[in-house]
Amino acid sequence: MNLEVLRIERFRNIAMLEFFPHAAMNFIVGSNGSGKTSLLEALSVLSTLRSFRDNKKQALVQFGKPQAFLHASVTDGVSHATVDMEIADTRFTRVAMNGKNLKSGSQYLRQNMRSHAVVFHPSDHELIRLDARFRRRYFDHLLAAEDTQYGVHLRDYARALVQRNALLRDTLQTSHTQQMIRSLGTILIERGTDIIFTRLKWIEKCNRLLPILWENAQYCSLQYSVVCSHDRDGIHHFLSESFKKVQQAEVRARVTLSGPHRDDVHFFFHGKPLRYASQGEGRLFLLALKLAEVQLYCDTGRKPLFLLDDFSSELDSVHRSMLMHTLRSQRLQVFVTTTDRESIPSDAQVVEMCYGNLRGGRLHDN
């Protein structure tokens, strides 16, 4: 999917902006605080309904304004579509496709003409430093983008989990309550099996892909925290036994103690946990992970946008060249921010951000 037109109004520090991007490489240059990352963020919100910086909708709206507006025209080479989005202080984001309002965010995310975005951003280091919740969230979003059914399984699991935890907190444990807890546990086992199966399959494909992406990626690997059979029957049996083992502990803790909502994905570099690696090794691992995400999404028959923030500080010249070569070979539409004009490849369109205003829109000339 390619972006043909982007229009932004009252978003972060951007009052009004219209952008006609190149079908391949787009570099946004400017000083710190000029609005470069805000432009990438608008693309992320249009693609995924999520910001990679802050999910509070109020933070996305320009200070003192009631709402922000985003508009995009996209094409898959054959068909064209328009997306209009309103982000308000107190109301849920409104999304319209081809002029028709959609009922929910999940309906938008199921649209074939929606563009998906893979983001490489300095905050990605939180995947290494912070706890399992951040890694689960990352993998759940990318898997739901690849497979809409995974998103349905997540939604069903989350609803059953909330209901079961509410019943576990109920101090009046009647026979009816206990029956409901068991019934909801059955739902969690069924949907949990689907979720773990999909996660394991993705990790398995990613580990096979990493060694052939580029030389240093051969030292990168992922491991799911739960060790069990990779077939559905084995996973179902594992979850059933796990729920039985923690049954009494759940009564005391008043919370569901087993299931994919408590699992983790461990990262390794050169066979050691990534949390013990250097910052440079962590950066290389994250780059390999993002390239694997791109490839596996392309394997679905669709192409994502690639958004890279702070190009010159996140990668050295060798890995910048490697990344650009890989992205060209995938024929992706790429959006990159940088403060360093010397790092811009010769085939890129260059625009300049200056305090929320966009200038330029030409091919780079060394």
pLDDT digits (tens, 9 = 90+) for 263-276: 999 999 988 999 88
CA distance 195 to 146: 13
Structure confidence by residue, pLDDT tens digits, 290-323: 999 999 999 998 899 999 998 777 678 888 888 8
Query: Which of 117-121, 310-314, 322-326 ranks highest by mean pLDDT?
Result: 117-121
pLDDT at 195: 98
- Average pLDDT score over the chain: 88
Which residues sit opposite 82 in a β-bridge?
A: 73
What is the percent of the chain where pLDDT is above 90? 53
Between 316 and 166, the more confident residue is 166
pLDDT at 91: 63
Positive or negative, the CA dihedral 191, 192, 196, 197 is negative
Q: What average pLDDT score do residues 193-220 get? A: 91
Q: What average pLDDT score do residues 318-330 get? A: 85
**Longest Cα pair distance anywhere in the chain, in angstroms?**
76
Q: Which CATH number applies to 125-301? A: 1.20.1050.90
Per the CB < 8 A criterion, the answer to whether 256 and 249 are in contact is no
pLDDT at 183: 97
Q: What average pLDDT score do residues 242-269 get? A: 95
* Six-digit token string for 117: 């975005």
Positive or negative, the CA dihedral 222, 227, 231, 233 is negative
Of 65-69, 211-215, 238-242, 292-296, which gets the smallest average pLDDT? 211-215
Per the CB < 8 A criterion, the answer to whether 286 and 293 are in contact is no
Structure confidence by residue, pLDDT tens digits, 124-147: 888 998 899 999 999 999 999 899
* Six-digit token string for 200: 């394991």
pLDDT at 76: 83
Q: What is the DSSP string of 63-115?
A: TT-SEEEEEEEEE-SS-EEEEEEEEESSSPPEEEETTEE-S-HHHHHT-TTPP
> Which pLDDT band, with edges at 50, 70 and 90, does 160 fall under?
very high
- Return the number of other C-beta atoms located less than 10 Å from residue 313's C-beta: 12
**Nearest CA among 138, 140, 268 for reference residue 196:** 140
Between 112 and 254, the more confident residue is 254
Of 302-311, 327-336, 341-350, which gets the smallest average pLDDT? 341-350
Of 42-51, 104-113, 271-280, which gets the smallest average pLDDT? 104-113
pLDDT at 111: 74
Per the CB < 8 A criterion, the answer to whether 84 and 95 are in contact is yes
pLDDT at 346: 84
Q: What average pLDDT score do residues 321-339 get? A: 89
pLDDT at 70: 94
Cβ-based neighbours of 326, under 8 Å, separated by 6 or more? 213, 214, 291
> Does 9 score more than 80 pLDDT?
yes
pLDDT at 365: 40
Q: What average pLDDT score do residues 358-363 get? A: 60
Residue extents of the structural domains in the chain = 125-301
pLDDT at 19: 92
pLDDT at 90: 57
**Sheet with 14-19: strands ordered across:** 14-19, 2-11, 67-75, 80-88, 94-97, 100-101
> Which pLDDT band, with edges at 50, 70 and 90, does 149 fall under?
very high
Q: What average pLDDT score do residues 39-66 get? A: 85
Residue 87 per-residue DSSP state: E
Per the CB < 8 A criterion, the answer to whether 268 and 222 are in contact is yes
pLDDT at 227: 81
pLDDT at 366: 37
